[in-house]
Amino acid sequence: MIDSRAIISDEASIDPSVKIGPYSIIDGDVKIGAGTVIGPHVVIKGPCCIGQDNEIYQFSVIGEIPQDLKFAGEHSVIEIGDRNRIREFASLHRGTKGGGGVTRIGSDNLLMAYTHVAHDCQVGNHVILANAASLAGHVEVQDYAILGGFAVVHQFCRIGAHAFVGGATKITQDVAPFIMVDGARARAVGLNKEGLKRRGFSAADITLLNRAFKRVIKSRPTDEAEWAQLYELAKQNESLAQLLAFIKTSTRGIVR
């Protein structure tokens, strides 16, 4: 299952069912779970832990040291879940001491060609990064978010669950859950209605979230009474509660 032209470190722990193509290099303390397929010319450097049934395509690099001048060789890792597809020339780097030492990527994600996940990023599940989308250090991307091609995200920003970021969009603030943003300098353009429909959100939920978008993203509540009304509604709706909690905990501000 491992091509004779691949180079495998004695430190690596690889399930017998893993396939590794020619000229790939597995260097250091690397753990790879059952059913994972690694194409030719892939470089994986430890410490690194990769789960089951992943597909890693040619010329991708996983676990390289971070592109952070403060990195001084300290112990750090990258952790990757199950059933991810990591396409050609993707680069995923280990964490740093300043960010907790761990870059994490969940399960069932698609990272298209030339995507970049920098040090200490936290990527959830069912996320799509289209071609050449790039996350700077310490970025959080929550479940089911989609970033269009060539989208770039500034350090320490958060992309909320079910958000949609248009292609070539520059993100310098947090993107709230369920929202679509677009533009060279990102602007919130509406609720991600089609995405929510595809994921089984009810018409009532979508209507409520659309009203919330107009009240807290497109404009701003003008007094405490209006916020209180929204929080009262959120007691009956988990999605609205998620949106309001995200906004409340934002430190960089919200894309509006």
- Tell me which residues are annotated as active site: 119-120, 137
- Beta-carbon-side half-sphere exposure of residue 72 (alpha carbons within 13 Å): 3
Tokens encoding 122: 């936290």
Q: How far is CA 126 from CA 56, 63, 106, 132, in A?
A: 16, 21, 8, 18
Q: Tell the residue number behind the tokens 């280990």, with chain if given.
A: 94
Q: Which of 22, 28, 72 is nearest to 50 (CA)?
A: 28
d(CA 170, CA 181): 10
Q: Which residues are bridge partners to 38 per DSSP? A: 20, 56
What CA dihedral angle connects 8, 12, 18 and 24, to 10 degrees? -30
The DSSP element (H or E) to which 27 belongs, if any, is strand 25-27
